[in-house]
Amino acid sequence: MENCIFCKIASGEIPGMRVYEDEHTLAIMDIAKDVDGHILVIPKIHVKNILDCDNETLCEVMKTVKKVGNHLTDHCGYDGLDLLCANDESAGQSVNHFHVHIIPRKYGDGLGGNAEWPSFPGAKHDLEETFKKLRIKSDFSATSDCP
């Protein structure tokens, strides 16, 4: 997509600090400077968000999230990670290209247990009623779309 900053980074048209790259995905440093080690994982093809993402691309993105996350905890001194992903403007998505934020964490880092989660005012409807509306009825087969 011609005006997408992540597409421009993926194509090399503009620079990005590439932490990891493979055929399908790219992990880059987030330039927000909000927390040390903040990384974004993006697909190289333009997909607006997870709701528009095909299963193969989603699997590739998540494999890269895991690879980068394991690197951060196994080799870079971090204890854990927060993964954040806003999907659509209504959820706070600010760049219309699917991306997953990796926020590396250390015990006592001062970010709290809910570093970037919104505050929730409490459910307005009965849990059982909501469950009945949202439940997906399927055979829950053990097959997977991920290779």
Kindly give, in sequence order, each residue whose CB lies less than 8 Å from that of residue 46, ignoring residues fewer than 6 positions away.
Answer: 1, 4, 6, 7, 97
99 carries an active-site annotation: yes
Per the residue annotation, which of 71, 75, 97, 99 is the catalytic one? 99
Q: What is the pLDDT of residues 25-75, one digit of tens each?
A: 999 999 998 999 999 999 999 999 999 999 999 999 999 999 999 999 999
Give the pLDDT confidence score for residue 123 in this predicted structure: 86
- Length of the chain equals 147
Nearest Cα to Cα of residue 65 among 90, 88, 48, 40: 40
pTM of the entire structure? 0.85
Q: What angle do CA 62, 100, 19 make, to 5 degrees?
A: 80
Give the pLDDT confidence score for residue 110 in this predicted structure: 81
